[in-house]
Amino acid sequence: MRPSAYNAAKGAITNFTRALALEYGSRGVRINAVAPSLTSSEATADLEKSKAVMAAFADRLPIGRAATPDEIAGVIAFLASADAAFINGVVLPVDGGVSASNGQPNFLSLLVKGKAISLAMITRRNIMQTLRDDYCAASWLVHHPFSAEDQAAMAAMRAIVEPNKGKLQGVAARVPFDAIMERVAAPAGVVYEAGRVGGVSGWWCRPETARPGQAVMHIHGGWFNWGSAHAFRHLAGHIAAGVGVAAFVPDYRLAPEHPFPAAAEDVRACYFGLVEQGFSKIAITGDSAGGTLAIGLLVHLAANSAFGGEALAGGVALSPVTDLAFSGESWSTRALADPYFTQPQAAELVGSYLDGDDPADPKASPLYADLKNLVPIRVHVGNDEVLLDDSIRFVERAVVAGVDARLDVWEGMVHGYLGGLGRLAASSETLQLISEFLNDRFARAAK
């Protein structure tokens, strides 16, 4: 078959699989496909005898060999099992690792303790969903189960977003990204107003009964390249309403036009601007890259507590990117489970932000920072995120440093799941926990 015909046929299968999944998913029928590469069989026996041919394949196959029929059958059995009940509309590469070059997950290239996993033994437990046993026993980690109502909602969401996985790139993604965040349901009783704090423009989110003298600064996400205060106003508005104080969302400068440390400088200026405006107690919250900047601000204030840090009440980070060096295991273990991001996509965005700076610079990657004297902090993350380990390792290090820190891991949830308020029970429960924590912090600070 000619390459053009092959690619057309493969594209047709991919689109057909997704279309059927969308049509029949609501009826409880899952439609998936398996895309194998070279597979050992009688038909390929002569081909495999050629050292030149197999050497060429070995150069492209990280595991260095063809798949066996039993291994391909193992993938099919897995997709048909109850363990794969959350997978729908997926064309699963089983190609020995060829697709790993473009950031797409594949089963034959997965390794555990240096040995290839037998495909017949792959389950939802050991490659995607379950936290390591030592973390499950940690006193600082709370694991939340996947509710039946959220499972149906998440399955429908995945069918919509997974076809575009990894495709948001560069400044061209700003408009569609903002459009996604604009879909967050507006909270009741919150008034929005454009403003300027510390020389940084942004949006105020004011509950009708906001307490005076206290505020939340919410730092929006977007991989340091996307996002705006206006698009995130409803998300921040929910936090403001839950806590009962005004929230300000700064429009910090974005990469690539303004690389690191411009964003960090802006959120720092905004914090001190809130202090200058008379807010005596301030909580810092942030999601995704905004969570990175939020933690970075907390670290800076902990190291310079004599210069405005006394106003800090506490912090909350939602799926923060704490390690810009991408050394977390979840970039591999959650590569399939995460419906949004691939490592090449994230690396390009982070590269434009760092602009040549060291990804392990503690001022850019808070995982490597000195975390002593941090104010109490709570971190929430979905269990199906490539950023899972960024949260786990950060909170683990914070606790070791003596910080009052806790991590809540939400089974079945993906990046940005708090935006599902009104649709996901996990989103409402997370908002409730955030509200309780920050209200307690504000109450303690007032004493």
User: Same CATH fold, 149-446 and 3-128?
Assistant: yes
**pLDDT confidence of residue 60:** 60
Length of the chain: 447
Geometric angle at alpha carbon 254, from 250 and 260, rounded to 5°: 105
Q: Is the peptide bond preceding residue 256 cis, with omega within 30 degrees of 0?
A: yes
Separation of alpha carbons 329 and 220, rounded Å: 25
Structure tokens at 353: 């932000």
Letter for the amino acid at 444? R
CA atoms within 13 A on the CB side of 422: 10
pTM: 0.74
* Residue 385 among the catalytic residues: yes
Catalytic residue among 71, 162, 385, 411: 385
Catalytic residue among 144, 415, 427, 435: 415
Structure tokens at 90: 């997926």
Sign of CA dihedral 352, 357, 362, 363: negative
Burial class of residue 137 (count of CB atoms within 10 Å of its CB; 0-12, 13-18, 19+):
exposed
pLDDT tens for the 447 residues of the chain, in order:
454 455 556 566 766 777 777 767 766 688 888 877 667 777 677 767 777 666 666 666 666 677 777 777 777 877 777 667 767 777 777 766 655 544 444 444 433 333 333 332 333 333 344 565 556 678 999 999 999 999 999 999 998 999 999 999 999 999 999 999 999 999 999 999 999 999 999 999 999 999 999 999 999 999 999 999 999 999 999 999 999 999 999 999 999 999 999 999 999 999 999 999 999 999 999 999 999 999 999 999 999 876 767 899 999 999 999 999 999 999 999 999 999 999 999 999 999 999 999 999 999 999 999 999 999 999 999 999 999 999 999 999 999 999 999 999 999 999 999 999 999 999 999 999 999 999 999 998 877
* Other beta carbons less than 10 A from residue 179's beta carbon: 10
Separation of alpha carbons 174 and 255, rounded Å: 11
Q: Which fold has domain 3-128?
A: Rossmann fold (3.40.50)
**pLDDT confidence of residue 106:** 45
* Other beta carbons less than 10 A from residue 444's beta carbon: 12
Separation of alpha carbons 247 and 282, rounded Å: 9
For domain 149-446, the CATH class is alpha beta
- The one-character DSSP state at 439 is H
**pLDDT confidence of residue 26:** 63
Catalytic residue among 37, 99, 228, 288: 288
Hey, where are the domains in the chain?
A: 3-128, 149-446
Task: Give, for 175, the enclosing helix (H) or strand (E).
Answer: helix 174-182
**pLDDT confidence of residue 291:** 98
* Residue 305 among the catalytic residues: no
**pLDDT confidence of residue 205:** 98
* Residue 415 among the catalytic residues: yes
**pLDDT confidence of residue 76:** 81
